[in-house]
Every structure is written in structure tokens, then in C-alpha cells.
Amino acid sequence: MIRWELLFKKLEEIGIIITEATKVGIEHFYPLALQRAVIIGWLDLGTAFLLGIFIIIAIIFLNRLMKKEDRYNDHEATIFFLIFSIVVATVFICVGICTGIIRILNPEWYAVKEIINLVE
């Protein structure tokens, strides 16, 4: 015969031990999650900067390509690819700048979000 009171008491003790261990883990993880959020924000901004340099180079190349007056002007595909790349890079720059600034200014939200994902 199982003594239910004894079983519930042991389960409660195990729950308290798990809760304390989780609390210690989260206290250690939170500063690291803050630093990680800030670093990812700076990486987003750096990526946006590099994409900006790519756009400048692509625009310079596109201008030179458009000014050439070759008799055999088969550059339509290259021009389309450059314009498409510029548009896509511009979208990524906007997203990178927005998320980078938000991560740098409010890393606590991203740290808490990571902790919640860790606990789940």
C-alpha cells in the first residue's frame, strides 16, 4: 500500500530542489543573455553597414555599365540582377538597422525572451 502523504512530500521536495537549481541557472544565464543581445545588435548594425558598402559598389558598377555604349549590349540580365540585388540589400539594411538598434537599446527584453525559451 502506498502512503500518498509520503509520496506527495517527496515530490514536493524534488520540486523545490528543481526550482532552486533553475533559479541559480537563470541568475547565471541572465547577464550572459544581456551581453549576447547587445553583441547580436552590433552584428546586425555591422551587417547593415557592409550591405550599404555593397549597394554603393553595385550602384557604381551599374552606372558604368549603363554608360557603356557597346554595339553588342547584352547586359539586360546583369542590370536586372544588380537592381534586384540593390532592392533586396536595401530591405535587409532597413531590417538590420531596426533590429540592431532595438537589441542595443533594450537587451533586457531579448534576454528575458531567451530565458523563457530556455525554460520551455
**What does the pLDDT look like over 42-85, one tens digit per residue?**
999 999 999 999 999 988 888 887 777 665 566 777 778 888 99
Residue 18 has pLDDT above 60, yes or no: yes
pLDDT class of 5 with cuts at 50, 70, 90:
confident
pLDDT class of 95 with cuts at 50, 70, 90:
very high
Taking residues 92-114, what's their average pLDDT?
A: 91
The 3-state secondary structure of the chain, one letter per residue: CCCHHHHHHHHHHHHHHHHHHHHHHHHHHHHHHHHHHHHHHHHHHHHHHHHHHHHHHHHHHHHHHHHCCCCCCCCHHHHHHHHHHHHHHHHHHHHHHHHHHHHHHCHHHHHHHHHHHHHC
